[in-house]
Copies of this chain bind each other. A is one copy, B any other.
Amino acid sequence: MDSTTVSAHAALRRFLSETRRHSLDLAAPLSDADASAQSMPDASPAKWHLAHTTWFFETFVLATHEPSYQVFDPGYGFLFNSYYEAAGPRLRRDRRGLLTRPALADILAWRAHVDDALERALNGLPETAHALITLGCHHEQQHQELLLTDILHLFSENPLAPVYAENAPFPAAGANAHDWLTHPGGIVSIGHTGDSFAFDCEMPRHPELLQPFALGSRLVTNAEWAAFIDDGGYRTPTLWLSDGWAWVEQNDVTAPLYWQREDGSWSTMTLAGRQPVDAAAPATHVSYFEADAFARWAGARLPRETEWEAMPENPALSQMFGACWQWTQSAYTAYPGFRTAAGAVGEYNGKFMCGQFVLRGSSCATPAGHARPTYRNFFYPHQRWQFTGVRLAKDI
């Protein structure tokens, strides 16, 4: 084994160990009941996230590439497969909250079993398996963010408004002034290239032709959102997409998710319990529909994902990462030349390329090291339980 390999193995081992440890840290404040509940079909129990990410390693790495590995419990595959049709049948998504057994403690034992096996097997595994371990870590990081947003949603449904952690992440206020940063357009390179990790949907890197445009220097703030509300934004159908207005009317939407008005002041649910809305902080938990309507009200538009990616190195742009995911007007679709991976992991991204919009950047709940300029997150236009926000754009 040459020294490059040794060092690569050590790096992978560390990435794996840190990623797996971080999930446990995130679960630490949760009771068995907290970890088992599912507050809506879009969300999953924390326990399920802990289990599913473990199932990924067990199924695609250990059971496939480590002949001596003993599956921890053969019944778990049905329970913790998410959507991999090629990996067999699975529990209906909206039934995940009914799995009060296995208990959280059982899942933690399973995690330890799989972690041990990975630790022991790692050096001897083929390159393909190492790539799958890397994928599994990035996959687990995605679920770490979901674990937090799903817990926030669950706790928001509890009239007692429980606190997950007093020092939990939240989108912090940034610079006050809003500027327009311009780009002259022209041919730009979009998408990932090189040896570092990226999901299949970020590739291949390819040229795109842009028209001149400008991006807002920071995210839309809560103060600006309150002005939109006060100006009747949620009662003016001509500001909205047709589907958006139907969503507003059907769900009686009048403010971002979690906002409540009492005695003239807005509060919002956070991972630290219910808190006053911070006027200077970025508005978050807004749907694409709301983002689009806000932009129209503001005389602007949402950025295209290519515009966003063409700009992020600009130091005058703040809050590109670490505050809120930023809705773009780009439908989530395949780059020219896109190819899915072979086998079950090929179901990772391509089959979701319908009806969803791309979000760029990252949020306060994104694990350290998971963000990059080419990253493409995606959600349906009505969804808003993630830390989603708005950066404006305009033609110039």
| Chain A contact residues, CB within 8 Å of chain B | 31-37, 39, 75, 78-79, 83, 85-86, 91, 95, 97-104, 154, 157-160, 162, 187, 206-211, 213, 237-238, 240-245, 288-289, 292, 301, 304, 329-331, 333-334, 336-337, 347, 351-355, 381, 395
| Distance in Å: Cβ of A69 to nearest Cβ of chain B | 22
In the assembled complex, which residues on chain B have CB atoms less than 8 Å from the CB atom of A330? 333
Q: Do residues B329 and A100 form an inter-chain contact, with CB atoms below 8 A?
A: no
CA distance A329 to B353 in the complex (A): 9
CA distance A35 to B354 in the complex (A): 35
Q: Which residue of B lies closest to A236 (CB)?
A: B85
With contacts A160-B101, A243-B354 taken as known, whether A208 is within 8 angstroms of B211 at the C-beta atoms is no
In the assembled complex, which residues on chain B have CB atoms less than 8 Å from the CB atom of A347? 238
In the assembled complex, which residues on chain B have CB atoms less than 8 Å from the CB atom of A351? 240-242, 245
Number of copies: 4
Q: Do residues A100 and B31 form an inter-chain contact, with CB atoms below 8 A?
A: yes
In the assembled complex, which residues on chain B have CB atoms less than 8 Å from the CB atom of A187? 209
In the assembled complex, which residues on chain B have CB atoms less than 8 Å from the CB atom of A99? 158
Q: Do residues A237 and B33 form an inter-chain contact, with CB atoms below 8 A?
A: no
State which of B104, B154, B331 has its C-beta within 8 Å of the C-beta of A98.
Answer: B154
**Lowest 6 CB-CB distances: which A-B pairs, in order?**
A331-B331, A33-B36, A209-B209, A85-B237, A33-B100, A211-B336
Q: Do residues B98 and A157 form an inter-chain contact, with CB atoms below 8 A?
A: yes
With contacts A102-B160, A158-B98 taken as known, whether A337 is within 8 angstroms of B211 at the C-beta atoms is yes
Interface centre among A32, A304, A330, A354 (most CB of B within 10 A): A354
| Distance in Å: Cβ of A8 to nearest Cβ of chain B | 32
Q: Do residues A101 and B353 form an inter-chain contact, with CB atoms below 8 A?
A: no
Q: Which residue of B lies closest to A39 (CB)?
A: B98
Q: Which residue of B lies closest to A95 (CB)?
A: B157
Q: Do residues A353 and B208 form an inter-chain contact, with CB atoms below 8 A?
A: no
| Distance in Å: Cβ of A285 to nearest Cβ of chain B | 18
CA distance A78 to B329 in the complex (A): 33
State which of B32, B329, B353, B354 has its C-beta within 8 Å of the C-beta of A31.
Answer: B32
In the assembled complex, which residues on chain B have CB atoms less than 8 Å from the CB atom of A104? 33
Interface contacts beyond A86-B238, A208-B209, A355-B355: sample of 5 additional A-B pairs, CB < 8 Å, sorted by A: A32-B32, A83-B242, A238-B347, A241-B351, A242-B354
CA distance A289 to B160 in the complex (A): 35
In the assembled complex, which residues on chain B have CB atoms less than 8 Å from the CB atom of A37? 33, 36-37, 97-98, 100
In the assembled complex, which residues on chain B have CB atoms less than 8 Å from the CB atom of A97? 37, 97
| Distance in Å: Cβ of A350 to nearest Cβ of chain B | 8
With contacts A154-B100, A238-B86, A241-B353 taken as known, whether A329 is within 8 angstroms of B334 at the C-beta atoms is yes
